[in-house]
Amino acid sequence: MDINQLAGRLMRVLRFDASVFREVASDTNALTQALLVVAAAAVLTGLGNFGQIGTQTLVGVLVLVVLGTLGSLIGFALYAGVAAIVARALFQGKTDFQEMARTLGFAYIWNGLGVLNIIPCVGGVFALIGSLVAIVAGIIALRESAEFDTTKAAITAIIAGAVALFATFCATTLVGLPILAALGAAAGASQ
């Protein structure tokens, strides 16, 4: 993997250079880079949650960072898959799952601002801004990947986001809450 190429692409994403998404969409070797971006942003966000429920200990932080990263990768794959299906089925978008995953993966970099959540009082605001900007970058990525207009990209993002959010909620409820409860109990027992 060419780190200089990855860094250059990320800088272009941060500048909202739409051409980077067209480039990544056509580069079949960019999926590894996109997945690395998603994983890195998830790790940063997980680290930003240090000190919250279940993360007062190093073990708690590591467990939640690993689970959060796995959850982010699964949720990301689900979102990219649904977005590709919606783009093709509703709007005759010219894309497939891998192309959509490559472009959306790079747009995910903005979620890395979740690391700022560790700053008391204002960190959550920065993390929220990062998430909102990631949505905007994702809409640009959708538009460039599927080769249609921004309105269709926004509708695709809303539908895919709703499906992915529902699936994430269900998975978190079934898997995440018991783990969080166990970590909270373990933290309480050690004090």
Q: What whole-number distance in Å separates Cα of residue 137 and Cα of residue 174?
A: 30
What is the reported pTM?
Answer: 0.82
10-51 pLDDT, tens per residue? 999 999 999 999 999 999 999 999 999 999 999 888 888 776
The model's pLDDT over 160-189, given as tens digits with 9 standing for 90+, comes to: 999 988 887 777 777 666 766 766 655 555
Determine the 3-state secondary structure of 76 from DSSP: helix
pLDDT digits (tens, 9 = 90+) for 109-126: 998 888 888 787 888 898
Alpha-helix residue ranges (DSSP H) falling in the chain: 3-14, 19-26, 31-48, 58-91, 97-107, 123-146, 150-171, 177-189
